[in-house]
Structure 1
Amino acid sequence: MKIGIVSDLHGKLPGAAVEALQGVDRIICAGDVEREPLLWELQTVAPVICVMGNNDYGRIDAPFWASPTIGGVKFLIVHRPEDVGVPAPDVQVVVHGHTHIPRNQRIGNVLYVNPGSTTRPRGGSDPSIAIMEIEDGAVADVRFVTV
């Protein structure tokens, strides 16, 4: 199963990001969309799970956090990394945005992933999304795609 991960769109969805998401089974959006029609556009590619970012208040209809199981992998999705706290014992992957800096880091038994920002990268990174591969109920690969 292939999961596309985006965050920090800030009102723009580059065509390169939509192209890079082609073929994914699900899209996770970690917030700061700012324009709900961008979520509708993402929905034309694959089903979307989105959480609200700090710039989304009153702009999109999304929860502050989500905890889906996708492909047998339990996720916690938030916008800001400081909102994670201590993940529940069954959480395998935390997805967040907010920093605009790509992250693929294992801490204990939890993998932390930030796709970076599609429009406003920071820390010397390029505009990016992440593609996660799930096989047999586990994360097999995470790669970043420059958009």
Structure 2
Amino acid sequence: MTRILLKILNGAFIGIAIGYINALIFSVLFQTKYLFPSAPLFVSQFRTTLSATAFSTILWALIGCLFTVTSFIFQIERWSITRQTVAHFAITFVGFTPLALLSGWFPISGFWLFFYVIVFILIYFSIWSLEMLEAKKVVAQINDLLNMQEK
């Protein structure tokens, strides 16, 4: 139990690190005078940039925790890769979407929600494809070992 909690805590710190790096990259790209944790519209909803950054840090930590917790799905060995990926997709989508909206990463509009869903599906299709290729390699290696033992 302690090991799981440590992994989740580590996930929170990874989420914060990724969020901070993204904020830094976008602040540099848009040549802002200060570090902005998200889009200007998001930051304008707070009294200070510091409070927007503090709130963003909490959201980034939650995103890191979400991805850490949902990664445990891939350790359920009795499930197929497809079932693992679909379960991970569904849980992550339901958890990540409100966090992304709260983070101000895209506006709440039909177009952006549609675009977000399409990108999310494409990412997960890519993950599933890579996992299937890796599984096929492992099966081929096991088959080769079994064939060598039979000889």
TM-score when scaled to structure 2?
0.25
TM-score when scaled to structure 1?
0.25
Between Structure 1 and Structure 2, the one with more helix by share is 2
Structure exhibiting the larger radius of gyration computed from Cα positions: 2
Between Structure 1 and Structure 2, the one with more strand by share is 1
